[in-house]
Every structure is written in structure tokens, then in C-alpha cells.
Chains A and B, each alone.
Chain A
Amino acid sequence: DIVMTQSPDSLAVSLGERATINCKSSQSLLYSSNNKNYFAWYQQKPGQPPKLLIYWASTRKSGVPDRFSGSGSGTDFTLTISNLQAEDVAVYYCQQFYSSWTFGQGTKVEIK
């Protein structure tokens, strides 16, 4: 099974600053036949279901603000939230969908 490990478990960032979350996969999520990474990021606010933010490692879902960006390939991925807003307080999860589906343990983002 593919194991997803996020870091850090939590972070506090000042409003308007940048938040960076990392996710490492136990095996490559890059499918050579189409050069796509089978990897996504989700946001879950308290009391709400998760929402898809980014898929294929770097493609923002329609309607997601452009301050959210994803990067990385293979086994190492990053979610960057530029210009952090109060409404971005949430837990963020990475996910692989290369072989079934697995989530990372989550990273809690708070305001400093």
C-alpha cells in the first residue's frame, strides 16, 4: 500500500504570509504513459466535508483561489498558500489516487 506522510502536522502563519505544506509518498505517483502525477490536495474546514483544491499535483479545481498552488512530482509534493486569509484556516490533506486511494494524516493551518 502507498503511504502518504505530511509535514508539518500543524503550522501557524500570520495573515498575508505564506504557508507551505509538504507531502511525501512511499512510491512514485507519476504515471509514465501520460506524465501525470496521481496526486491531490483537499481542504477541510471545521464541521464541513473536505473540498478538492488541486489535482494532478498542480491543477487548481475551478473556483479555487489562485493563492493556492501545488507543485512537485514523483514522490514529493508541496501545497503553497500565498497571502494567507482568515478563511484558509483548515486542515489540509494530501491524497494519492495512483493505486486505490490513500490520504496523508493532515496538516492543521492556523493564524499566528
Chain B
Amino acid sequence: EMQLLESGGGLVQSGGSLRLSCAASGFTFSSFAMSWVRQAPGKGLEWVSGIHSSGAGTYYADSVKGRFTISRDNSQNTVSLEMDSLRVEDTAVYYCAKGAGVGARSPFDYWGQGTLVTVSS
């Protein structure tokens, strides 16, 4: 059974840092792109960052570019999101999402349950 398990969320002060991780199982992790998508309380979905199946390509939304870094470890079946210079507006549930293909240009065919990040002022 396919599983994506996020961890690392919590409460952090504005300007602080946090590292999210997503542990994948039930599929050939190294064959698929992965992304992070967030959802602020009561709001819609916002794609945050993505990474190619090989890790060779990384992609970022303008709202997080220069502050967030995505990475993956295909030997450990994990994808991570390093979040620096956090802002109050980064407060959201962060979902790990599996791409349906190796790189960009594929939808997200499976999602984790999410981890809540709260940034206080």
C-alpha cells in the first residue's frame, strides 16, 4: 500500500527555521517526482516546491524561492523541505505529494495526511 508520512511540523517564531520530512513506501520512490503543497487554515491549495525523480531538477513557487530548499534521498525514500526565514504567512498544513511521472508536467496522484506548521509573530 502506498504511504506518505510527513513529519517535522510545529510552532516556530517568525524568522526561524524548520525542516519537514516525508517518508515514502509502497512504490518505487526513485521513479517519481515529489512535491510539497500547502494549505493555510480555511484556504485553498498552494504548490510550494517540487523535485525531479533523480533530484537533478528542483522547482519553487515565487513565494518561497530563496527561503525554502527541497531535497530527496532515494536510498532512504525520503523527501525533505528545509524552510528558513519563516513568515507568519507560511502558516499552513504542508502536504507531501507524489507526482505521477518523473519530473514536472505530471499531476499529483497520491498525497500524505499533512503536517501543520505554525509561525508566530
Chain A positions near chain B (C-beta within 8 angstroms):
1, 38, 40, 42, 44, 49-52, 55, 61, 91, 93, 95, 97-98, 100-106
Contacts and interface: CB of A to CB of B under 8 A. Distances in A.
Given A55-B107, A100-B50, A49 B44 contact: no
Contact of A101 (B44, B47, B112, B113): B47
B95 A49 contact: yes
Q: In which size bucket is the chain B interface?
A: 20 to 34
Interface stretch (B18-26, B74-82, B84-92, B98-106): B98-106
Interface in B1-48: 35, 37, 44-47
A2 B45 CA distance: 15
A93 B107 contact: no
A38 B100 CA distance: 12
A52 B107 contact: yes
A19 B68 CA distance: 39
Contacts of A100: 47, 50, 59, 61, 104
Central interface residue in A51, A55, A95, A101, by most chain B CB within 10 Å: A101
A93 B47 contact: no
Interface in B44-70: 44-47, 50, 59, 61-62
Given A49-B112, A49-B114, 8 more contacts: A49-B95, A49-B111, A55-B107, A95-B107, A100-B59, A101-B37, A101-B50, A103-B47
Given A49-B95, A49-B112, A97 B45 contact: no
